Structure 1
């Protein structure tokens, strides 16, 4: 092979090429982004439209339905979901994976621009879901409990905390590189409130709209242009902005009958605070949260490190009575997870090299093969940088998976070089011929492994997005390992032959530089000789034990192989029986979508009855927090009542009656202790009336609840009735927990129904009356008041919503400019009523969603039991029910991966058929895949690991890995038969010759994956199932391959041996 000839002849060129790859790879590594996950593009988009004051039913008919009909026809829209709630419509579009969301956003906006919605509705907003929308850090600003000087009262404290967070912290942190935004939540936000006396306005014949307009017109600074007088130019400005609250009170509202009416005559002006949207607490103490969001392409770890440096400076300037706490830091988990993957890769590489030394008992040969690992890994970093792949747990997991396989090609090449040398060939010739002889098999085995990752592009759903980086990194590493095996390994193996410089005739003494280089090389040689001597002394007992085991196996194997060839049919039947028996265990494994991460944290989402005020939501959290305050296993609790303005807030489940309570366990807490804390919290929440809750743990991926049932139809009452029946049946089973439903009636409303005839007789317009009601109750932001370089809203209204009653609404004056004031109750029926809190729709049909967690067992078994409940529930005409949630995504992913597995096997067959120029031999080799499934299933069963997407990826990898040993074995059998050796003798001879490289490649790959299979550290749950699957499948397939594949080959290959003229032996 010409590449091998070049490698052995131009050693300096290969060495310089290797140095260049290592150098550029290290530079690429320093510039790679570090993130938790690959760059995901979640194909969802939310269309949010607001119509203030509209009830859910009106929102559905006026906003949601028209929007659904308009955007539902857009290309690649897979599903349309919507939630209609008071004053707001959210239509969620789910696109097919791989959709260009920028183009989809343009298409959606075009449809919305031509849509005719009510004039009162606001412009529809497009919200993109991005997993990086979660803040990289959360900080809490609280009052220092140890401070000597305390705030006078709670209002002053919360205002001061919010003010300092916005004026100092937010500004300082947002200026840090890579920080996109800092969102504050909690505390009290300043607001100037003007509470108008509507009776006084009526007496003066003024309206609240007049007051709002006058305030807006009085608070203004304008530029009047420029004026030149002589040689001087002046800038003309009108200065009339309010400087303090007293100026607002002294503002002139009107002149009534020659009397000037000041603001203080008709309203109370006070410095208050806006209506609260969220209450945040840390360990029960009210706080102000700062959520720090990074730019889309920023390095999470670097952004967090810069923030931490800023915080060190900020803490020195904090007021004595304030304290800043870090309650969440995503970079910590990322750093730890990546560190664990790196450690697993390093330990795997060391174990692989150790196995090589045990087999070869030669430090030089071990070093030569071991060089394939660092060179291939560093080369992979170069390809990752050029492909814009970040360092994340998936890409690094791919490198860790490939560590043990990186030496496979080098093992086969070097082992054959050593075999040629033992046959008496000179070192240089042995390097060339030994490498060339196995080059085809090595290339084919690499291509079969790489081929199984190509179909990953056809995996739909989240699995395809997540494992794309892993597939590419494994591919890059294996390609580099192939290049190393065919260039660097022959070059290093040929070093010391002396043949390259045999024709040198120059007798002049070498130059000083040459002597210096020679001295450095001799020192390196002595250093490595010393290392080899130390290794030999330290590892001698292990080598002795290992060699004893290997030699015993080498003595037994030829006899066992000969026995199996004599009883080929029996061997095949036994193998088939083992396969069938193992496959019977598959239903007992259970199934899940993605393994659940253990991060020492959990949360509970709480939902109170609709209409529950924010204070009630907060009180429910305080009840739970008090139960945990004495628990030493809990390090920190953090609660958010309401939603606030957090960017990561769920656009569908939000409002004052919702909240989230998070618990961080103390270091060293076990999973059992965590479950005990959850059960304690569950008992507290169960006694709270009308509270629905759902426990969960932080996940790397955004998925819905494990189990969801969609009850669809049109009649809301029938949907609610069926939902209640299913919910009660689920509650009767011990398998389901945290059951909740979206069917919520009883949303309290004050309905104002106008008497249009009565209003018309009085000369009133219903639209004007409705607007006046809004102005009096909700109020209008008249202007913004500048204080300390901050803009503070000035709110004008007549009703203090925190103290008002229905009677105040009844007495609202609807014609303040008239001589005869008319109260609202004179022209409208004002009554208390209730309606649906929200109306959910899926694919333009009304639905109720019942969600639940699993108390025990796997997702597949729970879905089967839930389907039984649905089947036994009587459904009225027009009502349907189906299981969705993670189970739906799991089934779709499994179907997609089954197709991917079949496509991978087909590609492997194509590669092998091209190599062997045979249709039968590839089929024989493919039988290693079902043999590998035996080990994979047994490994999952013994370790109690359910089948999930990660384990299935391991099965797909096995399809490309396990065939390598059989390829090497069959390739040598064919070469021996071409040389004239009889079939049975060729099989036995090939088995003896390939036993050592097959065992070496198997053990290096297996031990390289062992640290990942053990599963220590953060994020191990995502890596362990794959490693367990590959290890189990590889070990079993290797043992069975050495016996079963030769027997099958002997049965299926009927071609007579070819005896070349003058040649009777391979040797």
Structure 2
């Protein structure tokens, strides 16, 4: 080490060049390092999602989930297998051990899914999603009609995808853009049963004809001379008129001519918007909610700047002529920039305070300035390591740098203080710089390595907490190690030049009245204590034990509440509304409107003294089975006061419950939650229900809502949602010549409409839906009269072929390790 110190003193220009290079590389690295709120967190979780439109939770659990779980249960490294089946969709969650190679796990999962080939025909292909910190949107947007304009947002599905979602998705740094609302078009084919009888057609024949009418496929190549031609069959571009000319069957007339039976002979065809599945409002106005997710490793601040520019362009070009407006209702960079500014401010303040303390003790500007150089060199140099390791600038890493500001000067202070001491004794500047740095380099390095070794367990931890706090460990460790190099190179080189003046001017430092008196008193007190402990060893032992006991008591008495991460003061409260199972979407909408009615005065008229704060934005999304809502405050410091504003009106609705909490700055995928999950599982729901009810009552008594606790059971403890069960009479079906599948298909068509095929219209594929005249508006009593057309050309009512009864059925079915569960 002595050679390095001497080389630095003898070649100050080289040292200056290295310092400038470190600063230059650091500045360049800052420009390229991704800036985001928190580090990238990859959780060992994979999700498999399967949609089966129109299927009940029981059917999805039996026909989809159990089959997939039996195949996936043999995957290596899976610690927990959970599933949730609800109306029309299912989700299977696989939690792996923390050391699992997730890329390999994903490949094996996809291989297992490809081997499952016995799923229902109407079930969609399973989709796989990963779970990481990029799942949280960096921006939420709302498309609303401008004041004074009446626009049907539900008819904007195709326009939304083509003119808004696609341009936003092409922005550099945006990985995915999703939206909620804006129904897509569908081609509705309304069947007339009387016409089917007239032409002696069955629904099966109609469905088969429609499915065979559209085909787009490559059918090989033709080589002719010097040219090769690709051969492709492609159906025509559909319109209601061309669809009406689809031939369902050909008959031979008495005169011997072939007579085609067209779709228009037995049905009417039109284009319409799909059935509405949710309601969304922003400050009382109908809205379409759009979410933007970022690509991993991109700069959130830069991406959001591009996103804002694109929003301004869309508002000016595409939306203004239509009376629409796209509003940015959530912007993650607002919190990122605020947090970064705060940490940067702390770094500057910390640096200036460190300089003040140095001046207070050294009483000389030059020595203090020499030490102060260590702060920017160490901090800026750390950004080179952050960039090289593929990390990001975030609140965690910047907090580490803020901590490191006070630590990086320690090594330089020890080095320069020793050099300064030798200089005060009259030693030449160069000799003092060399000898002073050489005498203390070993304890400086030992102290730094001790600090670095503290973070080694965190750096080696694969859990999400290890990924989260790895940034702070790396930031502090790198900054401290750089400060060691600075203390034995930069500090001696500067000291040998800047302290080369007359030695006697450092022999007597200026005095500060009062402060020096207190300092001498404390110094003498410490010296007396040292003398006593050297003379009487039991005194030192007593003091050590007393300090340890006092520290232990203080830690126990004043320890703060434990938490994974602080929530921060995010200006947003989010709540879920749980409605009784079986409630329709219209009834759920009315419940959500009660919350909107309570919040409306706070965004329209402001607030009163002593009342809740004014609301900046309020939104809700209501769907069949529940709703969720959120609000932000004009005064961010009082946003938590809006919790009771949103919850109180739901308390008045029998059977409904609301769960509202202030959102975390770090997001659910990083910060987790304060919830504790208790699972009750068994072979059958009826077996676990009594245990779950008893546990729920005990927890409600222990963790009361009055104390701010919230208790939620998933799925609900209710007996279930009402379900109409149709049990085919096999004997009656056989006499009528109708199969069970044909019966089910007829009920699907005349009740809600059945998707038959996707057809091309104007370059897009839309659903062709086959339905009866009163589909989507049928009551439970009218279900008995659904017409079943037989092959002989007769119509039989549904009640003549099946037993129809109303039963109770669970609205959701959860499984844990293959067994039904309640959480």
Distance 2:67 2:326 in 1: 47
Query: For residue 47 of structure 1, what is the aligned residue in structure 2?
Result: 48
TM-score, normalised via structure 2 length: 0.88
Contact between 1:32 and 1:391, CA under 8 Å: does it hold in 2? yes
Summarize deviations over 1:138-176 as a string: whole Å, max 9, x none.
11111111x4xx33xxxx522455454323222322222
- Residue 208 of structure 1 and its aligned partner are, at CA, apart by 3.0
- Residue 233 of structure 1 and its aligned partner are, at CA, apart by 13
- Say which of 694, 717, 734 aligns to 1:725: 694
Structure 2 counterparts to residues 824-835 of structure 1, below 5 A = 824-835=798-809
Deviates more, 1:271-280 or 1:657-666: 271-280
Closer/same/farther in 2, CA of residues 271 and 322 from structure 1, 3 Å limit: same
- Residue 400 of structure 1 and its aligned partner are, at CA, apart by 1.1
Summarize deviations over 1:196-249 as a string: whole Å, max 9, x none.
122331332112343344445556789999999999999999997356434444
Residue 465 of structure 2 aligns to a residue in which SS?
A: helix
- Residue 752 of structure 1 and its aligned partner are, at CA, apart by 1.5
1:168 aligns with 2:137: no
Q: CA RMSD of the aligned region, Å?
A: 3.2
Distance 2:554 2:229 in 1: 91
Summarize deviations over 1:283-307 as a string: whole Å, max 9, x none.
1211112222222232211111111
1:287 aligns with 2:254: no
Q: Quick check: which one's helix share is greater? A: 1
- Residue 578 of structure 1 and its aligned partner are, at CA, apart by 4.4
- Say which of 615, 618, 621 aligns to 2:586: 615
Query: For residue 381 of structure 2, what is the aligned residue in structure 1?
Result: 379
Structure 2 counterparts to residues 542-557 of structure 1, below 5 A = 546-557=515-526
Residue 35 of structure 1 aligns to a residue in which SS?
A: coil
Q: Give aligned pairs, total.
A: 785
Closer/same/farther in 2, CA of residues 112 and 315 from structure 1, 3 Å limit: closer
Closer/same/farther in 2, CA of residues 491 and 293 from structure 1, 3 Å limit: same
Structure 2 counterparts to residues 694-709 of structure 1, below 5 A = 694-699=659-664, 700=666, 701-702=668-669, 703-704=672-673, 706-709=675-678
Distance 1:845 1:223 in 2: 46
Query: For residue 256 of structure 2, what is the aligned residue in structure 1?
Result: none
1:821 aligns with 2:821: no
Distance 2:300 2:546 in 1: 52
Closer/same/farther in 2, CA of residues 134 and 496 from structure 1, 3 Å limit: closer
Query: For residue 685 of structure 1, what is the aligned residue in structure 2?
Result: 650
- Residue 619 of structure 1 and its aligned partner are, at CA, apart by 2.4
Contact between 2:279 and 2:622, CA under 8 Å: does it hold in 1? yes
Contact between 1:173 and 1:307, CA under 8 Å: does it hold in 2? yes
Contact between 1:358 and 1:547, CA under 8 Å: does it hold in 2? no
1:636 aligns with 2:617: yes
TM-score, normalised via structure 1 length: 0.69
Contact between 2:640 and 2:662, CA under 8 Å: does it hold in 1? no
- Say which of 353, 367, 370 aligns to 1:368: 370
Contact between 1:80 and 1:844, CA under 8 Å: does it hold in 2? yes
Distance 1:669 1:468 in 2: 31
Closer/same/farther in 2, CA of residues 767 and 106 from structure 1, 3 Å limit: same
Residue 407 of structure 1 aligns to a residue in which SS?
A: helix
Deviates more, 1:600-609 or 1:799-808: 799-808
Summarize deviations over 1:663-713 as a string: whole Å, max 9, x none.
1111x3434xx3432112221111122223211222214325523322233
Residue 680 of structure 1 aligns to a residue in which SS?
A: helix
Structure 2 counterparts to residues 409-448 of structure 1, below 5 A = 409-448=411-450
Query: For residue 335 of structure 2, what is the aligned residue in structure 1?
Result: 333
Contact between 1:617 and 1:659, CA under 8 Å: does it hold in 2? yes
Structure 2 counterparts to residues 175-186 of structure 1, below 5 A = 175-186=170-181
- Residue 439 of structure 1 and its aligned partner are, at CA, apart by 0.8
Distance 2:117 2:188 in 1: 36
Query: For residue 271 of structure 2, what is the aligned residue in structure 1?
Result: 271
Summarize deviations over 1:417-440 as a string: whole Å, max 9, x none.
011112221111111111111111
Contact between 2:142 and 2:288, CA under 8 Å: does it hold in 1? yes
1:784 aligns with 2:752: no
Query: For residue 734 of structure 2, what is the aligned residue in structure 1?
Result: 760
- Residue 59 of structure 1 and its aligned partner are, at CA, apart by 3.9
1:661 aligns with 2:636: no
Contact between 1:360 and 1:366, CA under 8 Å: does it hold in 2? yes
Closer/same/farther in 2, CA of residues 419 and 659 from structure 1, 3 Å limit: same
- Residue 822 of structure 1 and its aligned partner are, at CA, apart by 3.0
- Residue 127 of structure 1 and its aligned partner are, at CA, apart by 1.9
- Residue 635 of structure 1 and its aligned partner are, at CA, apart by 0.6
Query: For residue 78 of structure 1, what is the aligned residue in structure 2?
Result: 79
Summarize deviations over 1:795-844 as a string: whole Å, max 9, x none.
22226442112344333344443233333322221211111222222233
1:407 aligns with 2:400: no
Distance 2:303 2:248 in 1: 51
Residue 279 of structure 1 aligns to a residue in which SS?
A: strand
Distance 2:772 2:182 in 1: 25
Distance 1:230 1:94 in 2: 59
Contact between 1:42 and 1:130, CA under 8 Å: does it hold in 2? yes
Distance 1:390 1:698 in 2: 23
Structure 2 counterparts to residues 641-652 of structure 1, below 5 A = 641-642=622-623
- Say which of 625, 633, 637 aligns to 1:670: 637
Closer/same/farther in 2, CA of residues 452 and 705 from structure 1, 3 Å limit: closer
- Residue 367 of structure 1 and its aligned partner are, at CA, apart by 0.9
Residue 407 of structure 2 aligns to a residue in which SS?
A: coil
Distance 2:531 2:266 in 1: 108
Distance 1:372 1:821 in 2: 92
Contact between 1:608 and 1:691, CA under 8 Å: does it hold in 2? yes
Closer/same/farther in 2, CA of residues 74 and 550 from structure 1, 3 Å limit: farther
Summarize deviations over 1:924-959 as a string: whole Å, max 9, x none.
xxxxxxxxxxxxxxxxxxxxxxxxxxxxxxxxxxxx
Q: Quick check: which one's strand share is greater? A: 2
Residue 127 of structure 1 aligns to a residue in which SS?
A: strand
Summarize deviations over 1:620-646 as a string: whole Å, max 9, x none.
22211111111222110122223xxxx
Distance 2:365 2:775 in 1: 83
Distance 2:442 2:779 in 1: 87
Structure 2 counterparts to residues 480-491 of structure 1, below 5 A = 480-491=482-493
1:560 aligns with 2:541: no
Deviates more, 1:162-171 or 1:317-326: 162-171
Structure 2 counterparts to residues 899-918 of structure 1, below 5 A = none
Distance 1:230 1:127 in 2: 50
Residue 741 of structure 1 aligns to a residue in which SS?
A: coil
Residue 353 of structure 2 aligns to a residue in which SS?
A: helix
Contact between 1:752 and 1:829, CA under 8 Å: does it hold in 2? yes
- Residue 132 of structure 1 and its aligned partner are, at CA, apart by 0.9
Contact between 1:162 and 1:288, CA under 8 Å: does it hold in 2? no
Distance 2:347 2:499 in 1: 34
Query: For residue 737 of structure 1, what is the aligned residue in structure 2?
Result: 709
Contact between 2:371 and 2:413, CA under 8 Å: does it hold in 1? yes
Deviates more, 1:261-270 or 1:437-446: 261-270
Closer/same/farther in 2, CA of residues 2 and 384 from structure 1, 3 Å limit: same
Contact between 2:210 and 2:756, CA under 8 Å: does it hold in 1? no
Distance 1:446 1:261 in 2: 88
Query: For residue 296 of structure 1, what is the aligned residue in structure 2?
Result: 296
Summarize deviations over 1:396-422 as a string: whole Å, max 9, x none.
111111111010000000000011112
Residue 271 of structure 2 aligns to a residue in which SS?
A: strand
Residue 15 of structure 2 aligns to a residue in which SS?
A: helix
